[in-house]
């Protein structure tokens, strides 16, 4: 049931619709939180909406995320990110393997990303490198 907020429908009262006919609407500039999926918990700014996908720039990493509108909601708070976790902090030099070193460029939800993995496919990098506790 929806109560329309439009001058032409002012006297219509509550309108009933099947849920399959409803769709969330977002516009460029909306600040949103991802509530389901790969980027759950992230916040960011909507920069583009195409068909059934919104492109969001993340508050903490400034990376683009493609999210379905049904998987996000408007919000006012922003993720602040972290600059350290456990024994690691941004800028630390780390040994990735016996022949490779890098430095920490981002710490996000316990996943360390160093300068070497930043240049690689992020999915592969997250699968290859251990999660910090």
Report how far residue 55's alpha carbon sits from residue 76's, in angstroms, rounded to the nearest whole number: 18
pLDDT per residue as tens digits for the range 75-94:
987 665 555 556 776 667 77
* CA-based radius of gyration for the chain: 20
pLDDT, tens digit, 9 for 90 and up, residues 24-66: 889 999 999 999 999 988 888 999 998 889 999 888 778 899 9
Residue 67 is predicted with a pLDDT of 96
56: how many CB neighbours lie within 10 A of its CB? 27
Pairwise CA distance, residues 52 & 86, whole Å? 39
Q: Other CB atoms closer than 10 Å to residue 59's CB: what's the count?
A: 17
104: Cα separation from own chain's centroid: 21
């Amino acid at each position: 049931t929806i109560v329309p907020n439009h001058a032409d429908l002012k006297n219509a009262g509550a309108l009933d619709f099947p849920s399959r006919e409803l769709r969330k609407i977002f516009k460029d500039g909306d600040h949103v939180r991802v509530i389901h999926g790969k980027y759950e918990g992230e916040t960011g700014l909507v920069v583009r909406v195409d068909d059934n996908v919104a492109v969001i720039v993340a508050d903490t990493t400034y990376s683009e995320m493609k999210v379905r509108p049904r998987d996000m909601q408007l919000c006012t708070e922003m993720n602040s990110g972290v600059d350290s976790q456990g024994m690691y902090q941004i800028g630390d030099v780390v040994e990735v393997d016996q022949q490779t070193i890098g430095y920490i460029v981002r710490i996000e939800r316990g996943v360390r990303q160093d300068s070497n993995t930043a240049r690689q496919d992020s999915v592969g990098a997250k699968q290859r490198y251990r999660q910090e506790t």
